[in-house]
Amino acid sequence: MKRQSGIAIAPVIDLIESRLHENLDLHTIAGNSNYSKYHLHRMFTALAGMPLHEYAVRRRLTEAARTLVFSDMWVIEVAARYGYDTQQSFTAAFRDMYKMTPVECRKRRNFYPLQNRLSPRSLSEDTAMYHEKVRYAVKEDTDGWMKVVRSAVDGYPCLDEKDYICRLQNYIAKGCGTVLAKDGGIAGVMAFSVRPYENVHIEYLAVLPQYRKTGLYKLLIDHLAEELFPEYDISITTYRENDRADTGYRKELERLGFSGRELLTEFGYPTQRFVYQRGHENESTER
């Protein structure tokens, strides 16, 4: 299956970055490109893994958070700088995504991105599934692994890269990391830990945005559930229901056969534990 190359959306990404001070909508962006609103929406969503407006909002709030943490600009000034008419509307939008107010963010001085700027060159033109292999990660995979992490940061709240890389090296050294290699590159990653009472917990699961709808998540889960730990229950934590920051990860886990369990709080962020339901893959095949 062929899709437009990521290079085609480079001018769109550049436009969003140059106008983070505005509340850009699809109509305005399409008017500044060579695409219709319908085509632009489909193309961008397929490549970025989320609608264009969602991406633009997440980028604005990410840079707003960066400004709050690394400058002394007044909150009302930060709000105006990133396209919000009032401090109240900025605070509401910020709280929806970061689960704290702008004032609390400044006090904590702990920045993490909701959305990194997409690199058009990392978005492949061809999303056909071929020459794919799930294998154990090795130390040399770290750079490729982190490219996936940065591209899929919308699924991993509170990312601290330095801490994450340290923990990643530990997972790899213990044989608790797998990568999905695709045509010489890394398209998906998964780190896991084996817990008491025959439970495997997925610490991190991600694929490049343009592959989110092509079945790569299932390849990683199937490898873990059927080949590595066929007798173990598998758990993972994700966004709680109706979390505005969720760009579709909860729904994807449900589609794969995970079901919700207890509510948790991790790194100060509200989450929910999900458990893999065995036999789901057979039910899907029968249907």
Burial level of 268, CB count in 10 A (0-12/13-18/19+)?
Answer: exposed
- C-alpha 167/C-alpha 145 separation (Å) is 13
Question: Domain spanning 127-286 has what CATH number?
Answer: 3.40.630.30
Domain 6-108 indexed as CATH 1.10.10.60: yes
Tokens of 174: 């213990």
Write out pLDDT tens, residues 10-65. 889 999 999 999 988 888 888 888 788 999 999 899 889 999 999 999 999 999 99
Interior/surface letters 239-265, b for 16+ CB within 10 angstroms, e for the rest: bbeebebbbbbbebbeebbbeeeeeee
Within 10 A of 277 (CB to CB), how many other CB atoms are there?
15
Average pLDDT for the chain: 89
Tokens of 44: 């961008």
- C-alpha 127/C-alpha 2 separation (Å) is 7
Average of pLDDT values for 252-271?
95
The pLDDT of residue 127: 44
Where are the CATH 3.40.630.30 domain residues in the chain? 127-286
The pLDDT of residue 129: 45
The pLDDT of residue 4: 47
Average of pLDDT values for 118-141?
73
Interior/surface letters 188-212, b for 16+ CB within 10 angstroms, e for the rest: bbbbbeeeeeeebbbebbbbbbbbb
Stated pTM of the model: 0.87
Write out pLDDT tens, residues 172-210. 999 999 999 887 789 999 999 998 777 899 999 999 998
The pLDDT of residue 123: 63
Residue 126 in this model has a pLDDT that exceeds 60: no
Residue 284 in this model has a pLDDT that exceeds 90: no
Q: Contact at 8 Å (CB) between 126 and 175?
A: no
Q: At what angle do helices 142-151 and 161-173 cross, to 10 degrees?
A: 130
- C-alpha 235/C-alpha 185 separation (Å) is 27
Residue 162 in this model has a pLDDT that exceeds 60: yes
Per-residue pLDDT band for 279 (boundaries 50, 70, 90) equals low
Q: Contact at 8 Å (CB) between 62 and 56?
A: no
The pLDDT of residue 278: 66
- C-alpha 249/C-alpha 257 separation (Å) is 13
Average of pLDDT values for 152-176?
94
* Interior angle at CA 255, CA 190 and CA 52, nearest 5: 80
Question: How far from 72 is each of 21, 106, 150, CA to CA, in Å?
Answer: 18, 9, 27
Residue 286 in this model has a pLDDT that exceeds 90: no
Residue 96 in this model has a pLDDT that exceeds 50: yes
Where are the CATH 1.10.10.60 domain residues in the chain? 6-108
Give the ranges where the chain is alpha helix by DSSP (H): 10-18, 26-31, 37-48, 52-70, 75-81, 87-98, 102-108, 142-151, 161-173, 216-222, 249-256, 280-286
The pLDDT of residue 131: 54
The pLDDT of residue 214: 87
Sequence-distant contacts of 165-170: CB under 8 A, at least 24 apart: 167/191, 167/203, 168/142, 169/139, 169/142
- Return left, alpha or beta for 104; rule: phi > 0 is left, psi -120 to 50 is alpha, else beta: alpha
